Amino acid sequence: MAVEAIDINSPNPHFDWEKVAYTLLLSRAMDDIEEQKLVPAKLVFNQFSARGHDLAQILIGSLLNHPHDGATGYYRSRPFVLSLGLDIVDAVASPMAKSGGYSDGRDIGVVCNYPNVKREGAMLFPMCGGVGSQYSPISGWAQSILYHRDELKDERYRGAIGISMGGDSSMSTSGFWAALNISTTNNLPHLFYIEDNGYGISVPQEVQTPGGDQVANLAAYKNLKIVDGDGTCPIEAPKLVKEAVDFVRAGLGSCVLRLKVPRLCGHTFQDTQTYKPEAMIAEELAKDPLPKLKEYLDEYGVISTAQWIALEEKAYSDVEQAVEKAKARPEPDISKLKRYVFAEKDNYDNPEIQLRGGLHADDHQFPAVTETPAPQGPRLNMLTAIRNTLDYELQTNPKVLVFGEDVGPKGGVHAATLGLNQKYGNNRVFDTSLSEEGIIGRSVGMALAGLMPVPEIQFRKYAEPAAEQITDTGIMRWRTNNQFASPMVVRIPGGFAGRGDPWHSMSDEVEWAHKTGWQVVMPSNAEDAVGLLRYALRDNNPTIFFEHRSLLDNRWARRPYPGDDYVIPFGKANTLTVGHKLTVVTWGAMVERCEAAALELANGVEVIDLRTIQPWDKATVLASVKKTGRCLIVHEDNLTAGFGAEISATLAKEAFFDLDAPIERLTMPDTPNPHNIHLLNAAVPTQERIQAAMKDLLEV
């Protein structure tokens, strides 16, 4: 009996080709209607066509069917999000900045997210406007998959993957290289999908990398599978996509899938592509995957020409109807503009928890807490107090992970994590590669996977490379209208320590106070460090926990351990000395000096330690100033635009008629932190200068 030959070019049975075709046509219809009708009508202001990229994106999205798959995209990824299940009306309403959708008008429409709360496939992380920021969060998600599976023994995560999508030029960013190092070093289930159209807006690949081929230059990279080919061919593209997804899903490690695709339009609707030769544009148009797919499916009898036309008409009609529904949506409610900067708490009648991200979204139950300390044992330095708190939270919450440069076997360059790696193992307390962007980006993915990451940035100055990830994390809740949040506790030692220098001794806490959505904590002693750190580790917001280097082993800062259940809610200042003639507001390392100056002066000075500057205890400060009529603000950060200026502005407005003297600030000058001890003492407020400033104000 003759054996029927197998046609290796027949449509891959792992794909629903009618659904693929419809989604492709849907995406094209959206692009057409936006460009031809909505942009001219000024109803859409940011239009990024995905023509040419669309087929490959849809093929990938159709294979992301695991309930714990996670993905990141970028501004040209709408076909991919449609393939995940994005609602059509939301897809067209969001570019019109209408209410509802994935941002309620807060973010540009091409910046999507997809919480997929029913876990019917991949969750799409909130996209970001910054190119390259989409990569390292997926490294964190991929690591979380293994953590849930191996450490938490949750077999539901077996076979899940993370995928990050980006254009070829995004491979030049620090975010890409940070993620590549993290994921390959740890053999994480991370699929890097690169859509190579040869251009970054107008910049060709020859400017991005030697030889103009980033992927070829990765050929020698260890622990990395490379799958490379044509993203427009309906025969080749499905095979390559499935090969890459299957490799990563099998737990074999990380993979770069690079598919070459044409950008059949400008970077945006405004881009006329005059920088491309006409012959090149013609060649790209000839590579359009849509007519290729149409002809291929007709040839194999999957979708006839008549059926294709019917699908095309349906897609166009569905989009037109969706547009009319979107137009009918109301404008966003301006009264809700300030909601969701932070997690809602008791100040709302019905506080809402975000849909995805953090411990609270999964209804994690914490041990009971108290705001009353129960001092026990000898006085501990702040370093030991922090370590003990991390130890207890690691012990009682298996979802806490502590990591950063040198925090593993070494125990940290400041010794805050000494012994924790040996006690909890490499899955819980571990070292990272030297990339602050990667450290915070990884934390984002972990937090979105329901863990509590506690990354350490070794010194305050070293946080600068992570600034983009920090900014994006802080605004995540607000820009997704409370659908996503990424709570974490970022520990950052900083400030002078005996000596200073411009690189290890920066304070500059005001930068983080200005970062929307971040809480900023600056304890002055061991007891406060315990209470504030424990509160942060159980809170539902991202927190910067600033550990001042001069206080870590400072004698004055030592306190008995206040107990494993002790917390200090943020925004509650501590009044160290009570007086009626002068209010001194301070925080961090200046608290000890202000208290000593006030006690030596013994002349009615009230010293307030803010403890947190975001939020800050405005009520306590106002009440004190209304009593004393005078205020001196002392901080280590520079004078210009330091946080003292915010306090001064508040007092000038809300306590103006209670003031008997000008508000004064004593700070560092507008210089970096100097190394020479005499220069340092001339820069950082000393007890003597603080006391002199107190006397001057008292004599006004």
- In one-letter notation, the amino acid at residue 684 is V
Identified catalytic residue from 284, 393, 436, 509: 436
- Phi, psi dihedrals of residue 504, rounded to the nearest 5°: -110, -10
Tokens of 643: 């946080």
Six-digit token pair at 305?
């020409």
Q: Return d(Cα 489, Cα 543) in angstroms, integer.
A: 5
Beta bridge partners of 548: 494
DSSP letter, residue 36: I
CA nearest neighbour of 449 among 162, 78, 691, 195: 162
Distance CA 381, CA 400 (A): 23
Catalytic residue flag (residue 53): no
Q: 162, 142 in Cβ contact below 8 A?
A: yes
* Placement of tokens 């897609």 in the chain: 315
Tell the residue number behind the tokens 């964190």, with chain if given. 140
Closest-CA residue to 455 (of 475, 482, 429): 429
Alpha helices by DSSP H, 486-525: 510-513
Residue written as token pair 């503009």: 337
Q: Beta strands of 497-630 (E only): which ranges?
A: 519-521, 543-548, 559-561, 574-577, 582-586, 605-609, 612-614
Q: What whole-number distance in Å separates Cα of residue 53 and Cα of residue 680? A: 57
Please enumerate in sequence order all residues whose Cβ is within 8 A of that of 487, keeping only pairs 6 or more positions apart, or say none.
343, 357, 358, 359, 360, 447, 452, 539, 540, 541, 542, 543
Q: Which of 580, 572, 577 is nearest to 592 (CA)?
A: 577
Q: Give CA separation, 416 vs 389, 409, 493, 514, 593, in Å.
A: 10, 12, 10, 27, 24
- The question of whether 436 is a catalytic residue gets the answer yes
- DSSP annotation of 311 reads H
Between the alpha carbon of residue 63 and those of residues 15, 28, 58, 457, the distances in Å are 8, 21, 9, 37
Whole-angstrom CA distances from 410 to 285, 405, 422, 505, 664 are: 57, 10, 10, 22, 44
Catalytic residue, chosen from 148, 190, 504, 548, is 504
Cα-Cα-Cα-Cα dihedral sign, residues 246, 248, 251, 253: positive
Dihedral of CA atoms 561, 567, 569, 571 in degrees, nearest 10, equals 10
Instruction: Report the C-alpha gap between 248 and 63 in whole angstroms.
Output: 12
CA distance 324 to 14: 35
Q: Are 77 and 195 in contact (CB under 8 A)?
A: no
What is the C-alpha to C-alpha distance for residues 639 and 505, in angstroms, rounded to an integer? 16
Residue type, 157: Y
Q: ∠ CA(383), CA(384), CA(389), 5° rounding?
A: 105
**What distance lies between CA 138 and its chain's CA centroid?**
11
Cβ–Cβ < 8 Å for 28, 321? no
Residue 433, Cβ density class (10 Å: 0-12 exposed, 13-18 middle, ≥19 buried) = middle
A 10 A CB-CB count for 411 gives 18
Closest by CA to 489, choosing from 414, 393, 382, 557, is: 393
Supply the residues annotated as catalytic. 436, 504
